[in-house]
């Protein structure tokens, strides 16, 4: 029997909140600005990956902000 | 289920350590269109390619091979300190065996491929130093598909909490031309898609940050692929020359529910090992009311060379269950399900992807990515893209 994913989302959110209780000071954040820590992705690459994965898998969502629609390939 | 536990463990691993360099950074690292100085902007171009190989596995009755070439052009301009816009032009050329197959029917003689043309304009507004608003509108067209898209989003930075909360809503109103597997044109139908995404970016420590998000989407209308069919096998029939394996059977149309509710929960945690090396763990849980449950897990290693070149290596494991309507074979002509599909994308499979992505800069910024995806049902994929970006 499959369990609802919501309980896992709640658990992850609570753990994330607990982890974020320690404020990181301004002068401690330098390394988060280094290139290897850049979480942003070129929007054209996001568009390409979204199109590839959404068209070849049954799942959609989590890549960019849309989850199907807008293309006959999904 | 284990995916989010692993991610949550990663979130809780954040440790407070001083970093000698100090410094400032914008707390919106996932923003695809960040605010720059007024009068600045960029041109970018990407050429993407992907190829699905059908080695006779998957759906045995049709050749499922597909090749797609996709150039994308983007112009982005920061008109003022508080306002910027971005225009994206997309073109796809799709060459697939399933489209070429239509050409054997008189109604679609000459069919060989599909061309997709789309344009999307997005606009960003800085409402306050901590709150941004964006919206976009787009249109795209294919030989059997037309789509109108609208969307908007807002993000708010919580400075003391080192967090960014974002909400996005996207809608597509699509028109589908019903060209069936046998070339017969049955008019048009509509498809509506609405997706809402909530995401939460969090600094977890001097060396760790991550994001957690959820996307809920609802689709309604015509959700089948018009050219998809299912084959009712019957050993008493002669071989069917329209089927890839000359099986003895009759084709009928794919039928799927006219609504679909989808939920995707995703997260990413990245941790710096030092100034030149970082590791990341990403994952997603997915559920829909068609019966598909899926998850993926993507560990990644990122390294910066002395030259400034960035290289990342990733492995992605994906697993999904089959949709309720999916069957590999239909053998009883007297008991044909109302909802039915043999689309391999809706079947049970898992896949493993190995990929690398390289970024470097000279006068412009360049990147190149190459991925190979191996599927348990034999439908392997290779895809790559090369991107160029010139700022001004």
Six token digits for residue B377: 């049902």
**Amino acid B4: pLDDT:** 45
**Amino acid B113: pLDDT:** 63
Please tell me which residue of chain B has the smallest CA distance to A18.
B12
Higher pLDDT, B316 or B236: B316
CA distance B365 to chain A (A): 11
Q: Would you say residue B10 has pLDDT above 50?
A: no
Q: Which of A67-71, B28-32, B368-372 bottoms out in mean pLDDT, i.e. has the lowest? A: B28-32
Q: Would you say residue B20 has pLDDT above 50?
A: no
Q: Which phi and psi (to 5°) does residue B19 adopt?
A: -120, 125
Best mutation target among A22, A33, A44 (most B Cβ atoms within 10 Å) is: A44
Residue B107 Cα distances to B103, B130, B250, angstroms = 8, 57, 19
Confidence of residue B12 (pLDDT cuts 50, 70, 90): very low
Q: Given an 8 Å threshold on Cβ–Cβ distance, is B22 in contact with A27?
A: yes
B39-73 pLDDT tens trace:
999 999 999 999 988 776 778 888 888 888 999 99
Q: Given an 8 Å threshold on Cβ–Cβ distance, is B320 in contact with A57?
A: yes
Quick one: three-class SS letters along B318-383? EEECCCCCECCCECCCCCCCCCEECCHHHCCEEEEEEEEEEEEECCCEEEEEEEEEEECCCCCEEE
Instruction: Kindly indicate whether the ipTM for this predicted assembly is greater than 0.85, answering yes or no.
Output: no
| Residue whose tokens read 């697939």 | B96
- Give me the residues paired with residue B169 across strands: B152, B196
Residues of A in contact with B320 (CB under 8 A): 57-59
**Amino acid B138: pLDDT:** 95
Question: Which one-letter DSSP state was computed for residue A71?
Answer: S
Higher pLDDT, B226 or B54: B226
Q: Which of B18-22, B33-37, B359-363 has the highest mean pLDDT?
A: B359-363
Exposure of B387 in the CB half-sphere (CA atoms within 13 A): 26
B127-145 pLDDT tens trace:
999 999 999 999 999 888 8
Across residues B10-35, what is the average pLDDT?
Answer: 46
Q: Would you say residue B202 has pLDDT above 80?
A: yes
| Nearest by CB: A18 against B12, B191, B346 | B12
Residue ranges for chain A with pLDDT beneath 70: 1-22, 65-66, 68, 73-74
| Nearest by CB: A20 against B118, B142, B202 | B202
- Please report, rounded to a whole number, the percentage of residues in chain B having pLDDT higher than 90: 65
- Please report, rounded to a whole number, the percentage of residues in chain B having pLDDT higher than 70: 87
Q: Any chain B CB within 8 A of the CB of A59?
A: yes
| Nearest by CB: A12 against B206, B212, B286 | B212
Please tell me which residue of chain A has the smallest CA distance to B45.
A44
Confidence of residue B15 (pLDDT cuts 50, 70, 90): very low
Residues of B in contact with A28 (CB under 8 A): 16-19, 22, 206
B73-113 pLDDT tens trace:
999 999 999 999 999 999 988 887 766 666 666 655 555 56
Q: Any chain A CB within 8 A of the CB of B366?
A: no
Higher pLDDT, B277 or B115: B277
Residue B334 Cα distances to B208, B256, B330, B331, angstroms = 60, 19, 10, 9
Exposure of B209 in the CB half-sphere (CA atoms within 13 A): 29
Q: Any chain B CB within 8 A of the CB of A1?
A: no
Q: Would you say residue B22 has pLDDT above 90?
A: no
What is the C-alpha to C-alpha distance for residues B46 and B369, in angstroms, rounded to an integer?
Answer: 11
């Amino acid at each position: 029997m499959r369990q609802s994913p919501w309980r896992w989302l709640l658990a992850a959110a609570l753990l994330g909140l607990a982890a974020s209780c320690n404020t990181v000071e301004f002068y401690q954040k330098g390394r988060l600005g280094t290139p290897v820590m850049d979480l942003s992705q070129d929007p054209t690459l996001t568009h390409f990956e979204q199109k590839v994965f959404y068209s070849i898998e049954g799942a959609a969502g989590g890549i960019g902000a849309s989850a199907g629609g807008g293309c006959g390939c999904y | 289920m284990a995916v989010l536990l692993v991610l949550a463990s990663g979130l809780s691993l954040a440790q407070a350590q001083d970093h000698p360099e100090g410094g400032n950074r914008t707390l919106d690292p996932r923003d695809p269109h960040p605010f720059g100085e007024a009068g600045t902007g960029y041109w970018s171009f990407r050429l993407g390619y992907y190829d699905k190989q059908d080695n006779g596995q998957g759906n045995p009755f049709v050749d499922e091979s597909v090749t797609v070439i996709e150039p994308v052009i983007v112009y982005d301009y920061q008109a003022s300190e508080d306002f910027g816009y971005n225009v994206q032009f997309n073109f796809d050329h799709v060459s697939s065996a399933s489209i070429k197959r239509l050409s054997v029917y008189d109604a679609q003689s000459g069919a060989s491929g599909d061309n997709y043309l789309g344009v999307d304009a997005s606009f960003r507004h800085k409402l306050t130093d901590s709150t941004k608003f964006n919206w976009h509108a787009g249109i795209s067209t294919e030989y059997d598909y037309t789509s109108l898209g609208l969307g908007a989003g807002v993000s708010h930075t919580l400075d003391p909490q080192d967090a960014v909360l974002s909400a996005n809503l996207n809608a597509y109103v699509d028109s589908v031309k019903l060209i069936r597997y046998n070339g017969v044109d049955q008019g048009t139908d509509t498809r509506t898609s609405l997706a809402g995404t909530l995401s939460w970016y969090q600094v977890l420590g001097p060396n760790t940050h991550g994001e957690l998000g959820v996307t809920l989407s609802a689709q309604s209308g015509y959700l089948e692929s018009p050219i998809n069919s299912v084959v009712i096998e019957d050993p008493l029939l002669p071989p069917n020359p329209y089927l890839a394996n000359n099986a003895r059977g009759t084709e009928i149309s794919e039928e799927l529910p006219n609504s679909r509710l989808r939920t995707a929960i995703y997260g990413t945690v990245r941790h710096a090992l030092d100034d030149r090396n970082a590791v990341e763990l990403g994952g997603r849980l997915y559920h829909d009311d068609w019966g598909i449950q899926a998850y993926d897990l993507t560990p990644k290693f990122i390294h910066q060379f002395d030259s400034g070149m960035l290289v990342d290596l990733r492995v992605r494991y994906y697993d999904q269950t089959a949709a309720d309507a999916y069957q590999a074979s239909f053998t009883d002509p007297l008991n044909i399900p109302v909802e039915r599909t043999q689309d391999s994308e809706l079947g049970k499979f898992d896949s493993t992807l190995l990929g690398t992505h390289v970024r470097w800069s000279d006068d412009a910024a360049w990147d190149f990515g190459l991925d190979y995806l191996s599927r348990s049902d034999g439908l392997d994929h290779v895809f790559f893209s090369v991107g160029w970006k010139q700022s001004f």
